[in-house]
Structure 1
Amino acid sequence: MPATIKVTASDISLYHVAARQLGDAAQWWRIARLNGMGDPDLSAFATPVSLLLPDADALQDSGVPGVAS
């Protein structure tokens, strides 16, 4: 079951949230996908917003699916 956290603009971006919560900033897209978001920017969140967090997965690769480097 995914955990829920509250974020605001002070959290800056999903990169920061993913680094803190999942241990890998590049996994921001997992949080975005779970919450129906396409942009990692949190600057528009003036009031706290609840986000679901995926379970940490050390085997998950860091890249965004479907995007080659």
Structure 2
Amino acid sequence: MIRLIFTLSAASGLAVLVACTAPSMPEPEEGALFFVDNCQSCHGPTGKGMAPWRLTWPSNRAI
């Protein structure tokens, strides 16, 4: 019975350790392609919100 409890405790600890590991990051080239495909249309080519269509939208800044 003690061996079963120890085994279950060790397995639970291992599961928590695996769940808490950081996900792997893509390589820079892979991230750049992801940005172009998914983000550039809104954030612009430099990521600073300078998309060409931004001038057609009203400003959301409070005056």
Greater relative contact order structure (CA < 8 Å, 6+ sep): 1
Please tell me whether Structure 1 or Structure 2 has the larger radius of gyration of its CA atoms.
2
Name whichever structure is richer in strand by fraction. 1
Name whichever structure is richer in helix by fraction. 2
- Report the TM-score, using the length of structure 1 for normalisation: 0.21
- Report the TM-score, using the length of structure 2 for normalisation: 0.22
